[in-house]
Amino acid sequence: MIDSRAKGRTAEIKARDELRKLTGLMWERTPLSGALDAKHMMKGDVYVPGVNTKYCVEVKHYADEHISTKLLTTKSVFYDWWKQTVREADQMDKHPLLMFKHNRSKWFVAFTHEDVYLYMLDNESMKFLTLHPDNIGIALLTDFCEYAEFV
């Protein structure tokens, strides 16, 4: 039987390492994986100690892909992930950033930060999906990090 906490911890460490590589910032796992009260200003799964980043980052890693035609209905677990990410970002007064992947896939992100969203719309080499009416952009993490400013 797989320990879901151990799997989550492993995903957060891998996400931390990928963000370090792509952003040059020293990301860390959030103590207690974001379970602290909002007054501690430590929501999300990874953060940069001593740096006020623009994003509250939630990390999800599942065995199966959850980005499918179910996104056109409310039956996709993606919307539950997104609601959690937005709730925690609101508590931190930051932009929501959901990092997710399934087994053997690349990292993807979901975001609504308008500057990044508009840049990706204008850049023909950027491939991403838009979910309306909330204007949630979904892209490869590597593409997102090419333009996004984290600080």
Token pair for residue 105?
Answer: 């896939």
Task: Identify the structural domains of the chain with CATH numbers, from first to last.
Answer: 4-147 (3.40.1350)
83-121 per-residue burial string, b: 16 or more CB within 10 A, e: under 16: ebbbebbebbebbbbbbbbeeeeebbbbbbbeebbeebe
Model confidence, pTM: 0.85
Question: Could you list the pLDDT tens digit for every one of the 151 residues in the chain?
Answer: 556 666 678 899 999 999 999 999 999 999 876 555 555 567 899 999 999 999 999 999 887 766 666 666 667 788 889 999 999 999 999 999 999 998 888 999 999 877 666 666 666 666 666 666 677 888 889 988 988 889 9
